[in-house]
Structure 1
Amino acid sequence: MRHRLRDPVTGLLFVLPVLVLFLIFRIFPSLGAAGMSLTNWNIGGEWDIIGVDNYARLLDDVNFWLSLRVTLVYSVVYVPLTMLVALGTALLLNQVVFMRGLFRGMLFLPYVTSFVLAGIVWRWIYEYNGLINGLLAKVDLGPVAFLEESGVVLPALAVVSVWKGFGYSMLILLAGLKAIPSSYLEAATVDGANAWQRFRRITLPLLKPTIFFVLVIETISAFQTFDTVYVMTGGGPARATYTLIYGIYDHGFRSFDFGYAATWGMVLFAVVLVVSLIQRRFLDRGNT
C-alpha cells in the first residue's frame, strides 16, 4: 500500500503550490462572487441576504441586455478576424526559413505590450488628424470618426484587440503546423496537388484540434474584453461599447453596488461556460 501511494502523493506534492494558488485566486473568489450576488453588499461592507432579487432586477435591466448584445456583436467580429490573422501569419511563418525567430518575435511583440499603451497609440491613429484619416484624405475619403460613431466603433476596437492579441494564437497554430509530418505534404506534391489542395485536404484537417483550442481561448477572451473599452471609449458613444465586463466595472467600482455587479459576473460566467461547453462538444465530436 505504501508503494502504491508513493507516486500519487509525490505528484500531489509537486502540484500543491499551483493548486493552492488556484484555490486562493480562482475558486474562492468565484464562490465569494456567487454568494455576494445573493446580497445587497455595498461599499461600507454592510449587506443583507436578498435571495434572487438581483437576478430578477437584472432581467428587467435594459443596460444588461444592451451589454450582452454589444458583447456578442464584438465577439462575432473579433473571433473570426483573429482566427484569420493568426492562421495567415502562422502559415507564412511556417514557410520562412531565413530569420524566422526575428519575424516571430516581431509579430508576437504586440501581445506583450501594455493594453493601456496600445489603446493610447491607437486613439491617436483613429483621431480626425490621425494616421488612418490622413491616408484616407489622400484618396479623398473621410474623415471617419472611428471612436465617435456607433456603427464603426466596435469593429475599430476589434481591430485594436486583434493587433494586440493575435500573436498568442499565432504561436499555438504555428506549433500545430510544425506537428504535421512533412511527408504528407511531400506525397501530395508528388501526386500533383497544388498549394490550396494541400492546405484544404491535409493541413486544415490535421490542424483542426489546434484551431478548436484557439477558437475556445479567443471566444473567452472576446467575452472578457475590458482594457480596450476602458482606455479608448469608456463604454461610449451612447453605450455602443458597453460590454458585460465594463458593466461589472460600472456597477461595482462606480456605483459601488457590489452585489449587483457580482450578479452580472455570475451571468457572464454562465454564458462563457455554456459557449465553452458547446465548443468542447464539437471538439470531442472531432476526436480531438
Structure 2
Amino acid sequence: MSTQTPSRRREAITGLLFLLPVLVIFGAFKFIPILGAAGMSLTRYRLNGDVTFIGGDNYARLLADANFWHSVGVTFLYVALFVPATIVVSLGGAMLLNAVAGGATGIFRALLFVPYLCSFVLAGIVWSWIFRTDGPVNAALHELQLGPVHFLTGKQLLVLASLAVVSVWKGFGYSMLVFLAGLKAQPAEVYEAAVLDGASPRQVFLRITLPLLKPVFFFVLVMETIIGFQVFDTIYVMTGGGPARASFSITYFLYDAGFKFLDFGYAAAIGVALFLIVLVLSILQRRWLEEKETA
C-alpha cells in the first residue's frame, strides 16, 4: 500500500513534467545515438546504405589492430598531461578570483573566461603560429640562446604537451568557474576558526579547502577526463595526427576509419570502445575519491 499523500504524488508528477523536455532532448540526441552506434558497430555499413550484420567481427578486428592500441596509448598520455594541468590552473585561477574583493572579481572572471568562448579551430590556428619554428615563442627562446624548439614536429611527449597547453588555455575557464562556485559555497566560519587556531595557509588549503571541494573536484575530474579523451579539433588543426602518428588519438583514429576509409561499422566500434574506456575510468575515479574520503 502506498504511503504517499496526494500532495506528494502531485509534486512528483509536477517534477517529472518539468524534467520531461530535458529527458526527451537527452534521449533524442544522446541515448538513441549511442544505441544506434552500438548497433552499427555490429554491421558492415557501406556509404550506399548496404548493411550486413557481422556480429562481433569489428571488435575482434579492433582488438587485433596495432593502430588502435597505439591511439589508446597516445590518448592516455595526452590525458595524463591535460587533466592535471587543467585542474591545477582552474583551481589556481578560482582561488585567485576568490581572493579578489569588490567589482574587480567580475572583470577578471570575464577576462579569464574569454578563451573558453573561442573555438578550438581558431585556437589551434593561433597557437600553431605561436609554436612555429619562426614563431614568437622560438623567437624569445632564440634571444635566450635556447631555441629553436620543435613543439609540433618534435618528440611525442613534447608534441602532446604542446597540444595540452592549447587545450588547457582554451578550456580551463569553465572548470575555474565551477571551482569558484565551490569556494564561494564554503562556510566562512570554518576558515575563521582555523585562523583563530593558528592554522597556516598551507594547512587551511590541505585540511579545509580541498576536503570541502571533493564533490566539485570529482565533477571537474570526470568532465575534464571525458574532454581529454574526446580531443580532436586541436589535433586536426595543429598536427593532423602527426608527426609519425605521435598525436594519433582515439578520436582521430575514429575519424580516419569513418571519413577517410568510409568504414562506418568499424568507426562505430571504435566509438563504443572509447565510450567504455571513459565509463570505466569514471567509475574508477569515483571509487578512488570515495576511498580518499573514508581514509
TM-score interval for Structure 1 and Structure 2 normalised by the shorter chain: over 0.9
Moved more, 65-74 or 87-96: 87-96
Give the aligned residue type for 2:37.
A
Shift of 1:7: 2.7
Instruction: Report the more deviating stretch, 241-250 or 273-282.
Output: 273-282
Which residue of 135, 145, 148 maps to 1:140? Answer: 145
Amino acid in structure 2 at the alignment position of 1:183: E
**After the TM superposition, which of the residue ranges 219-228 and 275-284 deviates more from structure 2?**
275-284
- Deviation (angstroms), 1:44: 1.1
Match of 1:112 in 2: 117
**Which amino acid is the alignment partner of residue 278 of structure 2?**
V
Contact 1:225 1:243 in 2 (8 A): yes
- Gaps in structure 2 of 5+ consecutive residues: none
1:272 aligned to which of 269, 275, 278? 278
What is the total number of aligned residue pairs between the two structures? Answer: 287
Q: Helix, strand or coil for the counterpart of 2:242?
A: coil
On the 8 A contact 1:150/1:238 being kept in 2, the answer is no
Tell me the residue number matched to 1:30.
Answer: 34
* Structure 2 counterpart of 1:73, one-letter code: L
Q: Is the 8 A contact 1:79 1:215 kept in 2?
A: yes
Q: SS at 2:278's partner residue?
A: helix
Secondary structure at 1:48 match in 2: strand
- The answer for the alignment partner of 2:162 in structure 1 is 156
Query: Does the C-alpha gap of structure 1 residues 188 and 10 become closer, same or farther in structure 2, counting only changes over 3 Å?
Result: closer
Answer with 94-103 or 153-162: which moved more. 94-103
Q: Note the 1:162-201 alignment, pairs <5 A.
A: 162-201=168-207
Shift of 1:115: 0.8
1:261 corresponds in structure 2 to: 267
What is the correspondence of 1:124-139 to structure 2 with a 5 Å cutoff? 124-139=129-144
**Identity across matched positions, percent:** 58
CA RMSD of aligned residues (A): 1.4
Within the candidate set 92, 102, 106, 2:107 is matched to 102
Q: TM-score with structure 1 length normalisation?
A: 0.96
Letter in 1 for 2:246: A
Show the counterpart of 1:41: 45
Contact 1:111 1:165 in 2 (8 A): yes
2:76 paired residue number? 72
CA apart distance, 1:167: 0.7
After the TM superposition, which residues 49-64 of structure 1 pair with which residues of structure 2 at under 5 Å, given as runs? 49-64=53-68
TM-superposed deviation, 1:283: 3.8
Measured in 2, the distance between the counterparts of 1:59 and 1:230 equals 25
* Deviations 1:151-189, CA, capped at 9 Å, x for gaps: 310000000000001111111111111111111112221
The residue type paired with residue 267 of structure 1 is: A
Q: What residue identity is the alignment partner of 2:30?
A: R
Counterparts of 1:215 and 1:26 in 2: how far apart (Å)? 21
Code of the aligned partner of 1:130: G
Matches of 1:44 and 1:15, distance apart in 2: 39
Q: Secondary structure at the match of 2:193?
A: helix
Instruction: Give the superposition deviation at 1:2.
Output: 6.6
Q: CA deviation at 1:245?
A: 0.8
The secondary structure found in structure 2 opposite 1:134 is helix
Q: Partner residue of 2:18?
A: 14
SS of the residue aligned with 1:40? strand
TM-score, reference length from structure 2: 0.94
- Which runs of no fewer than 5 residues in structure 1 stay unpaired? none
Q: 1:284: Cα distance to partner?
A: 4.1
Quote the offset at 1:281 in angstroms. Answer: 2.1
1:203 Cα deviation from its structure 2 partner: 1.3
Query: Which residue of 1 is the match for residue 221 of structure 2?
Result: 215
How do 1:223-262 residues align onto structure 2 when only pairs under 5 Å count? 223-262=229-268
1:28 deviates by 0.8
Output the amino acid matched with 2:80.
V
- Give the distance between the partners of 2:203 and 2:6, measured in 1 at CA: 57
Deviates more, 1:180-189 or 1:165-174: 180-189
SS of equivalent residue, structure 1 residue 180: coil
Match of 2:87 in 1: 83
